[in-house]
Amino acid sequence: MGYYKLLMEWHLLSFLLIIVGSLLLAKGMHTVESGRLKLRWAALLVLPLALLYRYIASEEQAVVVTLRDLGLAFLLTYLWERLNKRRATFFIVNGILVMAIALGWYLLSFAYSAFNNLLGEKQREPTVSTVQYLLELGPDDSIDEVVPWLKEAGASYTKIFTTVSLQEDENLAQYFLINCPADKGEKLAKLLGADKENVDSYEPNYQRWQVPVLEAHAVSKEQEHLTNDPFVSQQWALKSIQLSFDKLRALKPIRKARIAIIDTGVDKDHEDLEESFCPSPGSFDENGHGTHCAGIAGAVANNKLGIASLNWEGKFIEIMSFPALDAKGRGSVESVASAIIEAVQAGADVISLSLGGWHPKPPKAEVDAIHFALRKGCLVVVAAGNNSEAAIEFSPANVPGVIVVTALNEKNELAPFSNTVEGIPYAVAAPGVNILSLKPGNGYVALSGTSMATPLVAGILGVFKSINPSIQQKEAYEILAASSSWEQTETNRSGKIINMDKILDFLNKNKNIN
């Protein structure tokens, strides 16, 4: 039974009870003394019973509505009594009085509610909203030298990237997060922009978010079951990239490579990740995006659980997680850059970024953090984006030096939602439609997006690093690109389509790639 129908039935029952009570009261006025008292008591008991019904039905303003109905009942009783040519002054007078009380009560409650809402809005919204900026000082400069400008604009500051020393990176070591009243932001920008001696860069702390994904249903396809993972038959992507598990397990890794998922966190207790998760800050995931990416990159293959990845029996890859996005998938340039730095300093070999936003000129803090990772020997892979536009307009896909990944469908065609990669030097294409992976709480779900294609490439790069920990970004991309099938078309839009069979042949022949 629907809620509205239920409420109307309770409402009608309550109103009928009130009318019955009113009629009993009228009858009591014309009854002999012995029966009059009983009828009056019966009438008085009906009112609280009707009110109780209203509360059970969770009706708003139950008291006001009950008083209104009582007034209506009295007026109807007055008409009934007059039709029977009996005096009914009591009912007309009290009916009008009760209706007036109900109306007054309603108006007062409405005014009180409106006042509270207005007060609540004022409490929730600060009188002056604030905005955030990223300020970079020169290597020889101090924040004290720009404090006068900050004070003049009513701004405050916090030093960020505090674990990076000037010796490691003179750019990242000099970043500050500025909180400024929104109406003073323009003034502060002019003051800092004029300070050429101390200020190297100054820009908004732009928002970042996970690359949106599309819900999908995995498509079962016939393929050889070379692993005992129960859902491997639904992983069309592994067949599409021509992954041979026989050739994969023939490789002898030097050590496990660490893939850092910079995202919403990862459910470290998921059954298909427990053996490969490396202790790291993002050990839970309220969103699910990060866990899905982690499963594609490094779910343990051939463990009789869930899905497979390139992480054969957990020998090639460890998953690390560094949260840059909140439970709703939102973050900022500062949160992403901080997570990248933390991942690098924790020993990450590969950094996987399934996030970004429209920004034709990439924010300097993001560029500095990624270049810091590349200099430290990390391989960095980034989602192209799902806007059906040019990835060169989106950051961090347009940060120089990153490997950018577009999404392919089951026909090895560029997915309609995928951004394109014209003008991006390091671009590859991987399956990104109906990709089955992990869901927090030991679940499994299929999603679509360049977010899904990116960690698949991160897993391949993890295999590279496990075979040769010293491999650098340029050579890693060249191996990916060299594997591309000759029949591929429009590679300028999609990037080179990866062929894992050719890559494994190369790796098995060149054990010490360098």
The mean-pLDDT minimum among 20-24, 94-98, 315-319 falls in 20-24
- All CATH 3.30.70 domain ranges in the chain, comma separated: 130-205
CATH 3.40.50.200 fits 214-472, yes or no: yes
Across the range 348-362, mean pLDDT stands at 96
289 an active-site residue? Answer: yes
Average pLDDT score, the chain:
85
Active-site annotation holder among 451, 466, 483, 494: 451
- Whether residue 431 contacts residue 408, with contact meaning beta carbons closer than 8 Å, is answered with yes
Query: Which ranges in 211-332 belong to alpha helices (H)?
Result: 236-240, 245-250, 289-298
Q: Measured on CA atoms in the order 191, 194, 196, 199, is the torsion positive or negative? A: positive
**How far apart are the C-alpha atoms of 463 and 507, rounded to whole Å?**
9
Active-site annotation holder among 69, 263, 267, 285: 263
Segment 244-267, tens digit of pLDDT:
999 999 999 999 999 999 999 999
What is residue 484's predicted lDDT score, i.e. its pLDDT?
84
Segment 2-37, tens digit of pLDDT:
433 444 445 666 677 777 777 777 776 666 555 555
128 compared with 183, residue with greater pLDDT: 183
Tokens of 96: 């009008």
Active-site annotation holder among 69, 229, 267, 289: 289
Q: Measured on CA atoms in the order 324, 326, 330, 332, is the torsion positive or negative? A: negative
Is the model's pLDDT at 158 over the cut of 80?
Answer: yes
Q: Is 111 exposed, middle or buried (0-12, 13-18, 19+ CB in 10 A)?
A: exposed
Confidence of residue 88 (pLDDT cuts 50, 70, 90): confident
451 an active-site residue? Answer: yes
What CATH architecture applies to the domain 130-205? 2-Layer Sandwich (3.30)
Across the range 56-79, mean pLDDT stands at 70
Across the range 402-414, mean pLDDT stands at 95
**How far apart are the C-alpha atoms of 405 and 424, rounded to whole Å?**
10
Segment 289-302, tens digit of pLDDT:
999 999 999 999 99
**How far apart are the C-alpha atoms of 395 and 444, rounded to whole Å?**
29
233 an active-site residue? Answer: no
What is residue 62's predicted lDDT score, i.e. its pLDDT?
63
Segment 440-460, tens digit of pLDDT:
999 999 999 999 999 999 999
- All CATH 3.40.50.200 domain ranges in the chain, comma separated: 214-472
